[in-house]
Structure 1
């Protein structure tokens, strides 16, 4: 029994040492294997395809009337009466506002008196010239003064006739800027009127120069209004601006819409999808191939060299089409892009193709 105890005490350390050595060897083998694949990312390649499409132009703007009028007085003065309020329907030629005519009538009277005096002076000089008591120069000066005074009277009478505002179109008063008793300068807007014919509703939007170059009058459009979220409206491009807005550098596009039975009003917000007639070619890749996307800019990884390394390529995004991305630039001559595994890559990564 004592001999058995001695043998057990001697064999236990040997057994523990053997187990420890085996575990250490196994750990070393695992570490070596891990180091052999460190930095290698399994990836999948997807072919780059191409498609020819007419990319829609997306923009937003406000509904307005094609017939809009900003009405003002020809001369400055004190407003005497206002005959229309905001929201009121008016007819073309209807009287909307008048100025106090005290000063304007005085100017007309002054011009009338000056014209009468010039007539008398001309008659007197003409008689003296006939009696050789006046020179030709004096007669010519009197004639000029007579003509000038007549023109001054015409101007004063014209200004008096435009000391009132009349509606220039059939429509609705959308804004009344001033009130009776206020002073307004010549040409300052007093009323804003929008035409109310159902065929005259338009949406004006701003587009970039690249989009402007692809559009033409007559191109179709789809208009969606926040006021009618479930009712799309059809439209066509009626006008294209020939110069950019100096403030936002965008080109204005006017879309004439067909409202149907819907009730429209100026200022309704609209989202517009314009379909240009001109098509273009796009490179098509899966959406998971795009990394570091920012608006229209993005990057993709493509295999490089011996296909164990990768290269990062900048691309220009046209638009999304489901799970595909249509690219306008950046993949010329590239046949494959990396999809699965692209999120874990850097330009120093080594890859293995699955």
Structure 2
């Protein structure tokens, strides 16, 4: 009987203790609900924003050339190697001229024969033996023979390849003894002067419409991670690339004395010459960014209210946003990371 009474007293004590603890927890929770989070606020302002376009591409020579023979034939001699520097006017390759020289000789003899025929018929015409029509026909034949000679002589001159500028042979595409067709590239070369390098990038149509010749840009080339390069927009394509759908822009590089090569990869940031006023908030106020979507907190009736925003651009410590609501005049900066919707806040200086 004593044991039963003892157990009853113990159970009552434990129950009282749990009730007391529950009341304390409720009181603590109630006090926590009343806690205010200290925050700082900043004004939303209108400021000028200089928009920027990010792009990437490959370094290329401004004077790239795919050199070829005008006429077809067997390559007799190649005088340069890949990677070799060449000077403007330097002989790079020549064809076997046996066939071409024969064509020139044939055209020469054709002119000589046409001249003899015309002289003979002209004399006969003076003696009233030949007709005027015969004289006119042979005059035409002489003119045609001279033109054939000019064609053969011209082709003979372009049976050798010369460097079109000072540069380097990037690729040798054919070898001695191969049959080169008319216009088939034999060399790929580019100029190597300090003013001959560009970064070719692809941009979307909406960015292409905002670009202008002369826009300034900064370029970071992977091969020179510690050297920022300056550049200007020097050319804009007037049509989209059929494979990528992007529009090509060329940025003329200031090499700063660095040795560049075709194919180096680079990232660029193009600063547009378009300045416009946009709504600006401190970068510390922006939370939960995802692409152009983000949020800020504003104070309404002593509580934090979460507002969605659209980011246009970022400039150092300022974020330019679309002015989606003219009611947003102030945003929470310090303390925003600790807030949830409806948190009670206390504004501090």
Contact kept, 8 Å, 2:218 with 2:268, in 1: the verdict is yes
Aligned to 1:351: 342
Which of 65, 79, 83 in structure 2 is aligned with 1:83?
79
Which of 232, 235, 240 in structure 2 is aligned with 1:240?
235
Tell me whether 1:331 sits opposite 2:324 in the alignment. Answer: yes
> CA distance change for structure 1 residues 277 and 351 in 2, over 3 Å: closer, same or farther?
same
Contact kept, 8 Å, 1:79 with 1:99, in 2: the verdict is yes
Q: 1:80 Cα shift?
A: 0.8
Aligned to 2:187: 191
Contact kept, 8 Å, 2:281 with 2:331, in 1: the verdict is no
* CA deviation vs aligned residue, 1:133-157 (integer Å, no higher than 9, x gap): 4444443332222211211111011
Q: 1:317 Cα shift?
A: 3.9
Structure 2: stretches of 5+ with no match in the other structure: none
Q: 1:226 Cα shift?
A: 2.7
**Could you tell me the TM-score, scaled by structure 1's length?**
0.73
- In structure 1, how many angstroms separate the alpha carbons of the residues matched to 2:255 and 2:289? 41
- In structure 1, how many angstroms separate the alpha carbons of the residues matched to 2:261 and 2:14? 88
Structure 1: stretches of 5+ with no match in the other structure: none
Contact kept, 8 Å, 1:92 with 1:170, in 2: the verdict is yes
Aligned to 1:300: 295
* CA deviation vs aligned residue, 1:278-333 (integer Å, no higher than 9, x gap): 33334335466343613xx3143677999989786461442363xx5623535352
- In structure 2, how many angstroms separate the alpha carbons of the residues matched to 1:343 and 1:100? 82
Tell me whether 1:203 sits opposite 2:199 in the alignment. Answer: yes
Instruction: Write the mapping of 1:206-225 to structure 2, written as runs, cut at 5 A.
Output: 206-212=202-208, 215-225=211-221
Aligned to 2:226: 230
> CA distance change for structure 1 residues 159 and 342 in 2, over 3 Å: closer, same or farther?
same
**Could you tell me the TM-score, scaled by structure 2's length?**
0.74
Tell me whether 1:63 sits opposite 2:63 in the alignment. Answer: no
> CA distance change for structure 1 residues 171 and 15 in 2, over 3 Å: closer, same or farther?
closer
Query: What secondary structure does 1:174 align onto?
Result: strand
Tell me whether 1:252 sits opposite 2:245 in the alignment. Answer: no
- In structure 2, how many angstroms separate the alpha carbons of the residues matched to 1:302 and 1:310? 5
Aligned to 1:291: 288
Range with greater deviation from structure 2 (305-314 or 136-145): 305-314
RMSD: 4.2
Query: What secondary structure does 1:142 align onto?
Result: helix
Contact kept, 8 Å, 1:45 with 1:336, in 2: the verdict is no
Range with greater deviation from structure 2 (310-319 or 177-186): 310-319
Aligned to 2:150: 154
- In structure 1, how many angstroms separate the alpha carbons of the residues matched to 2:224 and 2:24? 69
Which of 310, 316, 321 in structure 2 is aligned with 1:315?
310
Instruction: Write the mapping of 1:167-178 to structure 2, written as runs, cut at 5 A.
Output: 167-178=163-174
> CA distance change for structure 1 residues 51 and 177 in 2, over 3 Å: closer, same or farther?
same
Contact kept, 8 Å, 1:46 with 1:336, in 2: the verdict is yes
Range with greater deviation from structure 2 (110-119 or 211-220): 211-220
**What is the number of equivalent residue pairs in this alignment?**
335
- In structure 2, how many angstroms separate the alpha carbons of the residues matched to 1:217 and 1:335? 38
Contact kept, 8 Å, 2:91 with 2:162, in 1: the verdict is yes
